[in-house]
Amino acid sequence: MRDVFGKVAVVTGGGQGIGRALTERFCAEGMKVVVADIVPHLVESTTGEMSDKGFDVTGVVTDVTSLESVEALRDAALERYGAVHLICNNAGIGSGSEGQIWEHHVNDWRWSLDVNVMGVVNGINAFVPTMLAQDEEGHVVNTTSSNGGFTPLINSAVYATTKAAVTTITECLWGQLREVGAKVSASLLYPSTTSPGMLNTGIWRPGANRPDRYARPGAPPKEGRDALGVYLKRMEKAGMEVQFAPLSEVADICFQGIVNDTFWITAPNAQQQQKIRDRSTSQIDMSPPAYLLQANMMTSRPTEMNK
């Protein structure tokens, strides 16, 4: 999909964070973009700002946990533009689970699996048949994470599990599209940047916008838990400066991955590459996954991991 000008992109979770950055990049490339998000005011603000800049955008409030809602998103895109060439299944949440894995409430699992995994499945089911029937070049991008997509952080079992699932789903999708000789391809987006720093996205607000059907005792408030504030205090206590990388770089990497048909869309990272090697070695040697116990500042006990 090298020629993107005038083509139609649909981005779930497009109202903020990485989804918003993707929307901006695709617009800058001359694409028509459908912004999908479960939060109405984010849909309105993003589409309004993009429209004011002269870009051709449409907003659709969408719940990716519902196949019917995602199908309605597809139908709205087709009604407005007549085709869909790029679907970015980007919507994702941090469940706000607490404690050890055996203490996580089942509704934390249900919500995360429904959004992060079934949201991707619904996107594939709703859009891929249409894209294949168009018989034009197209692309599916599923947003995963190095946390789970490569190796998990053991203190975020729910999130890492969902992103591992997205990775496997997309591998199978890529293989099956190749097997049938489709003009549509697929990629995995690992949000990353060439500049050093963290990514400030909605994932730092775990539990935000949690529907009532996934309620549990002691759940984070509707605005989510301030995980970023906790992390910044931990880093400050350790005397370590926190940098934030621009989300536009994630969008840049994603766009180049699409036009180059790159499956593993990620910025090279020596530390992560070593973890991948350690994991592969552990699997081949059938040795314990000791690489999981390396100290990291994402856990609440960063200095105890090697004890």
Report the Cα–Cα distance between both ends of the chain, in Å, rounded.
50
Tokens at 257, concatenated: 């991955």
The whole-angstrom separation of Cα 265 and Cα 263 is 6
Close Cβ partners of 17 (under 8 Å, ≥ 6 residues apart): 200, 201, 202, 203, 247
The whole-angstrom separation of Cα 48 and Cα 44 is 6
Apex 90 CA angle, 127 and 87, nearest 5 = 30
Determine the 3-state secondary structure of 40 from DSSP.
Answer: helix
> Which listed residue (159, 190, 214, 291) is catalytic?
159
Tokens at 211, concatenated: 């529907």
The whole-angstrom separation of Cα 142 and Cα 91 is 9
Active site residue 190: no
Q: Closest Cα partner for 257 from 266, 249, 248?
A: 266
Apex 145 CA angle, 144 and 150, nearest 5 = 105
Active site residues: 159
